[in-house]
Amino acid sequence: MRRLPLKALAAAAGLAAAPAASAYDLPAVNLGFTSFLDGAPPAGPGWYVQQYVQLYRKGRLKDADNDDLRLPTPGGMEKAELDANISLTQLVYQSDQELVFGGKWGMNLMLPVAGFDLAPEDNLALSTNSGNLGDLLVGPYLQWDPIMGANGPKLVQRVEFQMLLPTGAYDADHAINPGSNVFSFNPYWAATAFLAPKLTLSWRLHYLWNAENSDPYAPLGADDSQAGQAIHLNFASAYEVLPNRLRIGINGYYLKQITETKVDGRDLSDSKEQVLGIGPGLVYHFSKHDHLFANVYWETWAENRTEGSRVNLRYVHHFQ
């Protein structure tokens, strides 16, 4: 839930790391919020409400070579870290009506709230927006019934045409904002493969395109900016240890920016972002209609973005 256009920011602030610093300009996307059994809603058609809480800690600011960036303070140059507390509220409707290609239509709405803590607090370069409301997500989708085998389902999948609307808090005088101030198109394909009666493999593969920001971070001195295109992937494998109750496994995510960020229509060199997160997780089924997901991620291979750790909790309720 942040915008951190750091390359030109660094130059404007006179940072020693300016030549190596990069854009940090991709909008907030789904990194680790979803994991196990992602190919279908857990209880079929109807209304779902889901609540997510994600704690991001000790996110060290990294440059294009995975080196720590330093910020100027009254006492000298210091390494910078970002913490974030993120809440997502999601409302989903899954119909039982086929629309096209056998897929049943559905609608996904999500509203985030985020708060940030940046250390060192007395740095002379970066500031955070105290507003908490993030960008509204709207996602019409198609859900397919499971492909069945001799011993049960083999594969279940969904395609969503996800859009991020610039409704969140944004202030061009701040480097870090809950909102992005741009429209983004972030479609994905999600699926769960049943590899064995108790073993599943799930993934959610996104493509990200971002529109132009006509009010970029003010110290850039630019008329407009445009974050690059990217792909990002959530993946998870779970094993059922308690029948119909508990699954444990490994979960992760990977983000890779594939085109450079643009400022005033020109490519910003060395601005592509990358990060990998991986760790353990579980899902506990209280009933067919109530489910709790818990995930931990440790990040590595970060380029031009923060590198820290995440703890994610997600509760799913299906209205009968």
Residue carrying structure tokens 């913490």: 83
Work out the pLDDT band at 2, boundaries 50, 70, 90: low
Q: What is the pLDDT of residue 305?
A: 93
Q: What is the pLDDT of residue 7?
A: 46
Top-confidence residue, 2 or 128: 128
Those residues with Cβ within 8 angstroms of residue 238's Cβ, 6 or more apart along the chain or in another chain: 36, 37, 199, 200, 202, 247, 248, 249, 281, 282, 283
Work out the pLDDT band at 175, boundaries 50, 70, 90: confident
**pLDDT one-digit tens code per residue, 95-128:** 999 999 999 999 999 999 999 999 998 888 888 8
Q: Is the peptide bond before 187 cis (omega within 30 degrees of 0)?
A: no
Cross-strand bridge partners of residue 134: none
pTM score: 0.93
Q: Which of these ranges, 4-18, 148-162, 211-225, has the smallest mean pLDDT?
A: 4-18
CA–CA distances in Å: residue 100 to residues 44, 84, 104, 299: 18, 40, 8, 39
Pick the CATH number of 6-318 from 3.10.20.90, 2.40.160.40, 1.20.210.10, 3.40.50.620: 2.40.160.40
Tokens of 78: 């210091």
Residue ranges covered by each domain of the chain: 6-318
Top-confidence residue, 130 or 254: 254
Q: Which of 116, 117, 110, 114 is nearest to 133 (CA)?
A: 114
- The CA-CA-CA angle for residues 10, 232, 172, to 5°, reads 35
Tokens of 241: 């240890």
Those residues with Cβ within 8 angstroms of residue 99's Cβ, 6 or more apart along the chain or in another chain: 105, 142
**pLDDT one-digit tens code per residue, 258-286:** 999 999 999 999 999 999 999 999 999 99
